[in-house]
Amino acid sequence: MTVFFLSMALLESAVVVYLRALHYPNGFEFPLVPMDGILVTTELLREGATVIMLLAVAAIANRKALERFAWFCFGFGLWDLGYYAWLKVLLDWPAAWSTDDLLFLLPLPWVGPVWAPSLISVGLITLGLVLLHARSRDPHFRVRVLHWCLLVGGAFAMVLVFMADPWSQGLRGLHDPASGMHTYVPGPFPWAWFLLSVFPAAAGLIGCALDAMKRP
């Protein structure tokens, strides 16, 4: 599974290498260059397909819902970290953890420094391993409702933080040049709000780990 997820990361980074060779020969930076509509549509479809692939592999790995969720978390986190690692190998990018990146396009553009999604990926990998380990020790292990609420609430808040700056500057997508995408430059990242959104997710993760440790 680890080899597969790292291979997916290489495939993802290869697409970015091609796009940057075509559109950013002097290096990637904001504002973004205009892209043809079919390329934007293809990129949106590719992002959706990537998530479906991660879900599909997690579903194949196990028949039980919690284990499937755990494998998805582990795979998503490893894929995302592997993506940046491969880009560093292939393009020597990002130059620093603070480098701004266009993280995702669905349902709206997500923007943030590389350290932010990397931190989330570490948390996802940890959560996946905790749940898989807990289920291996006790097939009846369940995540408490409180911990689910903390995890989901924290994740939702982090997504809002990533979309906040693009939304505040009128950014709605890549299709329409009038949307502002091709003049958009990220403002200061609201790291304080991001860290506040991390706290409930971290509390949920710690709660799951403590419950897992109590099991025989």
Helix and strand numbers (H, E) in the chain are 6, 2
Are 111 and 103 in contact by the 8 Å Cβ rule? The answer is: yes
pLDDT digits (tens, 9 = 90+) for 4-63: 999 999 999 999 999 888 888 888 888 777 777 788 888 888 888 999 999 999 999 888
Looking at residue 19, its pLDDT comes to 87
C-alpha 168/C-alpha 146 separation (Å) is 32
HEC string of 75-111? HHHHHHHHHHHHHHHHHCCCCCCCCEEEEECCCCCEE
For residue 98, the tally of other CB atoms under 10 A from its CB is 12
Give me the residue label for tokens 């995702």: 104
Indicate the pairing of strand 100-104 with strand 110-113: antiparallel
Range of the domain at 64: 2-214
> What is the pTM (predicted TM-score) of this model?
0.90
Beta bridge partners of 102: 111
pLDDT digits (tens, 9 = 90+) for 157-199: 999 999 888 877 766 665 555 455 677 788 889 999 999 999 9
Pick the more confident residue, 22 or 72. 72
Beta bridge partners of 178: none
Give me the residue label for tokens 């560093």: 88
Q: Is the pLDDT of residue 207 over 90?
A: yes
Total structural domains within the chain: 1
Looking at residue 172, its pLDDT comes to 63
Residues in Cβ contact with 115 at an 8 Å cutoff, skipping those fewer than 6 apart: 97, 98
DSSP 16: H
Query: What are the structure tokens assigned to 147, written together?
Result: 């911990």
| CA 154 to chain CA centroid, nearest Å | 14
For residue 84, the tally of other CB atoms under 10 A from its CB is 20
Query: What are the structure tokens assigned to 160, written together?
Result: 């809002």
